[in-house]
């Protein structure tokens, strides 16, 4: 029972989401959990716009996030500047995981 409660903690769920996204960049459930944690100014509205654009393109949200600088992605410029930090962070974790 104690172990179950441990895994129900927000911090543990968030950490596991980072691990899952590191291993599989296309894990949209994990991405949705951590895209704005810690706060990066990528709110729910922005995430919904990314989701809609992914649907239009027939792609994943991760694919859209990798191409965030495209002019047809209608989100605020300051958010466009913060997004590559998230992508770079996850890609660097992925590279580290592969090299272990």
Write the pLDDT tens digit of every residue in 27-39: 999 998 888 777 7
C-alpha–C-alpha distance, residues 56 and 6, integer Å: 39
- Give start and end residues of each alpha helix (H) in the chain: 2-7, 10-23, 28-34, 44-57, 61-66, 77-98
The domain locations on the chain are 9-98
Question: What's the Cα-to-Cα distance from 80 to each of 42, 64, 83, 90, rounded to whole Å?
Answer: 9, 11, 5, 16
Nearest to 42 by CA among 83, 14, 10, 73: 83
pLDDT of residue 2: 65
Provide the CATH topology of domain 9-98: PCRA; domain 4 (1.10.486)
pLDDT of residue 83: 76
Write the pLDDT tens digit of every residue in 1-16: 666 788 889 999 999 9
Write the pLDDT tens digit of every residue in 54-87: 999 999 999 998 888 888 888 888 778 777 788 8
C-alpha–C-alpha distance, residues 26 and 48, integer Å: 16
pLDDT of residue 85: 80
- Percentage with pLDDT > 90 across the chain: 39
C-alpha–C-alpha distance, residues 58 and 48, integer Å: 15
| Reported pTM | 0.81
pLDDT of residue 73: 84
């Amino acid at each position: 029972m104690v172990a179950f409660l441990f895994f129900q903690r927000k911090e543990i769920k968030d950490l596991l989401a980072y691990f899952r996204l590191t291993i599989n960049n296309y894990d949209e459930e994990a991405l949705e959990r951590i895209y704005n944690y810690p706060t990066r100014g990528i709110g729910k509205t922005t995430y919904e716009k990314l989701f809609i654009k992914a649907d239009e393109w027939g792609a994943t949200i991760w694919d859209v996030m990798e191409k965030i600088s495209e002019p047809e992605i209608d989100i605020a410029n300051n958010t466009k500047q913060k997004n590559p930090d998230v992508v770079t962070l996850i890609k660097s974790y992925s590279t580290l995981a592969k090299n272990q």
